[in-house]
Chain A
């Protein structure tokens, strides 16, 4: 079987930069063509910034790896021009079951809030996710966008300077040097960039191993997430069953700490475990098997001069709650518009420090949530196990205990409360979910939706309020999007953006986070808010 993850997607090709007598200077260079590096490259290229992506490999992710993509990243991908193929291919689900010991304790239906174009999350193999991003890069190239992926270009040395970075790059034809004004390191949890620069990566190690098996089976299991605590087929441990596209099922079995990884990975040891779980009569084929351990940790700072870290290179979490790739895409979403403004000279370099402030806050939230899930799934003491089991036993009969069951909390975007880019909230009693720092919640507008209209530029959103159609301030152009609560008969727009106010004016950043809001337009206040949002106030 010729699987997508075994096909070279961006094979090595000789580049003129390799023949230059003195190193060629590039603008931003991205290291890593995984989900985060590709997202960064696409966003920069769409904004007209010339970008080079380097990767030591030439293929998409080996195996399914990240499989759960949440609404906010899907909305970001829409802006990057590749949300639709992901949603079309992905598996939509909102039902699940929780099992404890030998019985089902409850089932649930997450029933996502209405009035959003994108679902709460989809399941999609990482290799498809990356394939669609690479397809998008190719489409951009055909339109003449300044983006390239250099496969089998391995960075072997990095030199940092006040105004640029030097790179030594190994290729199948030998090594060459390159210079970059900016370096965006998206080279994963084991980030060679981080190691070469001798930077910290501290946090908490969880002494546990998990076996992931992707199996292809024609089973009539429903499209639900099933999670087992302490099941008979994996005593004292946990298990997960989750559906992916193409009849592939993700099975996750907790194995404990003292195991022989190589032995456990062998099919003759994996298959009996799966049969014990699925039943002897279920036919299946193993697509991919892996054993992983995990840590919750982050770099102290994500910006080091001209080097910016994003995704797993900057922070690592346990997989429960799907916060790895999902948060990485939010990193580049935060970073790229700032980097573009700095590169074109519209904002001071210090704007990039807000990337550090805001995304460290996001990483802390993710680490907190995923550590809590891990502590529930794998209790670390006799008493934590007793309390955990008490919650599960109660959840069978009493609804109140169900919110305490924690097998992973849905990844939601971080609200950048306290960010230096925010202006004080001036919409009295406005909805909390759209306070400055929040990512804009979607809302239906007849047959259309709000978020696609925001796009990836500064927007002045007016709802039943007057304002100029365009504001030019400090080198930034802000376009007005004029709406009325009458545009949305479901009243989601009113509930999410006005509350009891008759009108509202929002300054929205290119990453669709709220920078400022007031009941009406005030020229001085909004001009100050624009300057503040680009680090000039």
Chain B
């Protein structure tokens, strides 16, 4: 299924090639870390990914999506 998107719209449709592999990689990355270490890892990961996206409009829409807030318009 493909949907026409404006360039600055957050992608919320499935978009990861090999979703299961990505998820497994994510779990592996956390293996052997304690809670504090894992939290720090996640924080760094968010920043790395945010920089890759770069587009402020997209990043802004990601916040309510992550907050599971359906009423909040991006």
Is B63 interfacial (CB 8 A cutoff)? Answer: no
The tally of residues in A whose CB lies under 8 Å from a CB in B reads: 11
- B40 pairs with A389, CB closer than 8 A: yes
Whether B57 sits at the interface, judged by CB under 8 Å, is no
Residue of A nearest to B54 (CB): A400
User: A241 to B44, alpha carbons, bound, how many Å?
Assistant: 28
Residues of chain B at interface, number, CB under 8 A: 8
User: Chain A residues near B48 (CB, 8 Å)?
Assistant: 394, 398, 400
A4 to B46, CA, bound (A): 52
Q: Encode B6-50 as 1/0 by CB contact (under 8 A) with A.
A: 000000000000000000000000000000000110011011100
Q: Are A390 and B44 interface neighbours, CB within 8 A?
A: yes
A203 and B51 alpha carbons, distance in the complex (Å): 32
Interface residues as binary, A354-396 with B (CB distance below 8 Å gives 1, 0 otherwise): 0000000000000000000000000000000011011101100
> A387: which B residues are within 8 A, CB to CB?
43, 46-47
Closest to A391 in B: B47
CB of A380 to closest CB in B, whole Å: 16
Does A386 lie within 8 Å of B51, measured CB to CB?
no
Q: For the complex, what is the distance from the CA of A391 to the CA of B50, rounded to whole Å? A: 12
- Chain A nearest CB from B37 CB (Å) reads 11
Complex contact B51–A393 (CB within 8 A): no
- 1/0 contact string of A480-518 vs chain B (CB within 8 Å): 000000000000000000000000000000000000000
A197 near B: Cβ within 8 Å? Answer: no
Say whether B43 contacts A386, CB under 8 Å: yes
Q: How far is the CA of A389 from the CA of B40 in the complex (A)?
A: 8
B-contacting residues, A4-43, CB 8 Å: none
Q: Find out whether the CB atom of A394 lies under 8 angstroms from the CB atom of B47.
A: yes
Does A202 interact with chain B (Cβ within 8 Å)? no
Among A390, A398, A400, the most chain B Cβ lie within 10 Å of the Cβ of A390
Q: In the complex, what distance in Å separates the CA atom of A393 from the CA atom of B47?
A: 11
Q: Is A401 a contact of B40 with CB atoms below 8 Å?
A: no
Instruction: List residues of A whose CB falls within 8 A of some B CB.
Output: 386-387, 389-391, 393-394, 398, 400-401, 404
Q: What are 17 pairs between A and B in contact, CB < 8 Å?
A: A386-B39, A386-B40, A386-B43, A387-B43, A387-B46, A387-B47, A389-B40, A389-B43, A390-B43, A390-B46, A390-B47, A391-B47, A394-B44, A394-B48, A398-B48, A401-B51, A404-B47
What 8 pairs across the A-B complex have the smallest Cβ distances?
A390-B43, A400-B51, A390-B44, A386-B43, A387-B43, A394-B44, A386-B39, A390-B47
Taking A390-B47, A394-B48 as known contacts, 9 extra A-B pairs with beta carbons closer than 8 A to each other, sorted by chain A number, are: A387-B47, A390-B40, A390-B44, A390-B46, A391-B47, A393-B44, A394-B47, A398-B48, A401-B51
